């Protein structure tokens, strides 16, 4: 019998080819728990027990491409309890589900990460099929989790309101930025103070929840803005109305043809860092977020943020940004004018410095501590 404590981790999000957003969060947590010598980690992906070495490789590559190889030949996840029983450690096994989980309990203590409940509260922001699949047994998943890790106070509040979860069962594990600041620094050095034509960056996939339409509506009502700045949209075309159909509907064809409104599609982490460094500001018009990582990335990079005031975003931005109502183009315009005035007066420099300090206070070490303490309460992280 081993002294190590079994921890079963379902790593569903790590199957993604490129790690951004949620896969990054899971990778950061897994990186750290693999360093814990007192833990005996067992990883599960798509109902299979994945070799730990395979997980290490994918974490190093920040890509799940290698995880799928040979997965079908691996033992099923239900072999883990048998293995733990044989080792005499089943009764103290703990499980962490980093996304979807079975709607029944297996281990002595089980935790689940909840990113946001937009599938419940804002189903119109998602494809109907995804909503049906995600929400089918969500109430049962919540009910049979001993501890729920919400990535923001806003998500915790939604858990309590929708499911009546006692607040003591919810731990708030805020996220952190993983933007490559060294790369951003190299971009800044390359620019070296040379003038860059000002542009505002809109980061996010093109889908209803990300609300790119607000920005298009704003520049349609205030075309003079396009004389001052370009608007650059960076993010993949996900679902719903296409970017082209939205610009057509707003009569922005000439602005697109003239390069005043630019759609770049998907950008990798390297290009994202470069865009953040060069941008005069980030506009983040999302209707609903569980956290709002692009805001933190921009703050860490030193880019002023114009942020939707919705859901979790004020928890990220604090008093270090320019807020607007995601339903009100006039509110966005007012935020833009405040940024412009602060640029003219130089006040923006102080705000950017504060934003950098604030962003640096969000760390994945802190996220990990919350998760570990939630999984192993009252025993100093199990150690």
The number of angstroms, rounded, from the C-alpha of 225 to the middle of its chain's C-alpha atoms is: 30
Q: Applying CB under 8 A, does 158 fall inside the site for other proteins?
A: yes
Q: Applying CB under 8 A, does 137 fall inside the site for other proteins?
A: no
Do residues 264 and 274 make contact, with C-beta atoms less than 8 angstroms apart? Answer: no
Which helix or strand (DSSP H or E) is residue 275 part of? helix 269-278
Q: Order of strands, edge to edge, in the sheet holding 281-284? A: 261-263, 230-234, 199-203, 281-284, 305-308, 322-324
**In b/e form, how buried is each residue of 195-224, taking b as 16+ CB within 10 angstroms?**
eeeebbbbbbbbbbbbbbbbbbbbbbebee
- The nearer residue to other proteins, 23 or 285, going by C-beta atoms, is 285
90-129 footprint of other proteins as x/- string (CB under 8 A): ------------------------------xxxxxx----
Question: Smallest distance from the beta carbon of 84 to other proteins, in angstroms?
Answer: 31
- The nearer residue to other proteins, 31 or 241, going by C-beta atoms, is 241
Question: Smallest distance from the beta carbon of 338 to other proteins, in angstroms?
Answer: 12
Characterise 227 by phi-psi region: left (phi > 0), alpha (psi -120 to 50), beta (else). Answer: alpha
Do residues 227 and 257 make contact, with C-beta atoms less than 8 angstroms apart? Answer: no
Exactly one of 213, 235, 278, 382 binds other proteins (CB under 8 A); which one?
Answer: 213
Do residues 201 and 276 make contact, with C-beta atoms less than 8 angstroms apart? Answer: yes
Token duo for residue 161 = 């309101």
Rounded to an integer, what distance in angstroms lies between the CA atom of residue 177 and that of residue 298?
9
Question: Smallest distance from the beta carbon of 108 to other proteins, in angstroms?
Answer: 25
162-191 footprint of other proteins as x/- string (CB under 8 A): xxx---------------------------
Exactly one of 106, 237, 331, 360 binds other proteins (CB under 8 A); which one?
Answer: 331
By CB under 8 A, how many residues form the interface with other proteins? 40
Query: Residue 66 half-sphere exposure, CB side, CA atoms within 13 Å?
Result: 13
Q: Applying CB under 8 A, does 154 fall inside the site for other proteins?
A: yes
- The nearer residue to other proteins, 165 or 234, going by C-beta atoms, is 165
Exactly one of 216, 234, 252, 282 binds other proteins (CB under 8 A); which one?
Answer: 216
Return the range that interacts with other proteins (CB under 8 A); candidates 20-28, 63-71, 239-247, 264-272. 239-247
- The nearer residue to other proteins, 323 or 336, going by C-beta atoms, is 323
Strand-strand pairing, 39-45 and 48-50: antiparallel
Q: Applying CB under 8 A, does 219 fall inside the site for other proteins?
A: no
Exactly one of 217, 291, 303, 367 binds other proteins (CB under 8 A); which one?
Answer: 217
- The nearer residue to other proteins, 13 or 208, going by C-beta atoms, is 208
Strand-strand pairing, 261-263 and 170-172: unpaired
Token duo for residue 26 = 């899971």
Q: Which residues bind other proteins (CB under 8 A)?
A: 120-125, 135, 139, 154, 157-158, 161-164, 208, 211, 213-214, 216-217, 241, 245-246, 248-249, 287-288, 309-311, 313-315, 323-327, 331
């Amino acid at each position: 019998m081993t002294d190590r404590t079994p921890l079963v981790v379902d790593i569903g999000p790590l199957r993604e080819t490129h790690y951004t957003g949620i896969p990054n969060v899971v990778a950061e947590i897994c990186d750290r728990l693999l360093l814990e010598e007192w833990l005996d980690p067992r990883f599960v992906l798509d109902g299979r027990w994945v070799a730990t070495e395979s997980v290490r490789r994918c974490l190093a590559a920040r890509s799940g491409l290698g995880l799928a190889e040979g997965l079908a030949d691996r033992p099923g996840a239900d072999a883990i309890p048998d293995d733990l029983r044989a080792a005499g450690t089943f009764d103290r096994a703990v499980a962490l589900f980093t996304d979807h989980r079975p709607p029944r309990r297996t281990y002595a203590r089980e935790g689940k990460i909840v990113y946001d409940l937009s599938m419940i509260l804002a189903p119109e922001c998602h494809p109907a099929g995804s909503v049906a699949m995600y929400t089918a047994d969500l109430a049962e998943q919540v009910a049979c989790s001993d501890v729920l890790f919400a990535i923001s106070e806003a998500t915790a509040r939604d858990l309590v309101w929708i499911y009546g979860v006692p607040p003591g069962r919810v731990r708030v594990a805020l996220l952190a930025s993983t933007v490559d600041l060294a790369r951003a620094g190299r971009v800044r050095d390359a620019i070296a103070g040379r003038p860059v034509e000002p542009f505002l960056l809109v980061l996010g996939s093109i889908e209803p929840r990300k609300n790119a339409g607000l920005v298009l509506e704003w520049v349609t009502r205030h075309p003079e803005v396009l004389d001052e700045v370009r608007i650059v949209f960076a993010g993949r075309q996900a679902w719903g109305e296409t970017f082209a159909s939205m610009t057509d509907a707003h009569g922005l064809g000439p602005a697109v043809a003239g390069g005043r409104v630019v759609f770049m599609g998907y950008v990798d982490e390297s290009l994202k860092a470069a865009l953040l460094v060069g941008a005069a500001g980030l506009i983040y018009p999302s209707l609903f977020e569980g956290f709002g990582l692009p805001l933190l990335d921009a703050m860490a990079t030193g880019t002023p943020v114009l942020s939707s005031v919705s859901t979790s975003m004020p928890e990220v931005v604090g008093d270090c940004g320019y807020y607007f109502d995601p339903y009100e183009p006039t509110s966005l315009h007012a935020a833009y004018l405040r940024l412009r005035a602060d640029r003219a007066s130089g006040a923006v420099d102080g705000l950017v410095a504060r934003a950098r300090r604030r962003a640096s206070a969000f760390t994945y070490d802190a996220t990990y501590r919350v998760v570990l303490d939630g999984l192993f309460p009252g025993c100093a992280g199990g150690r």
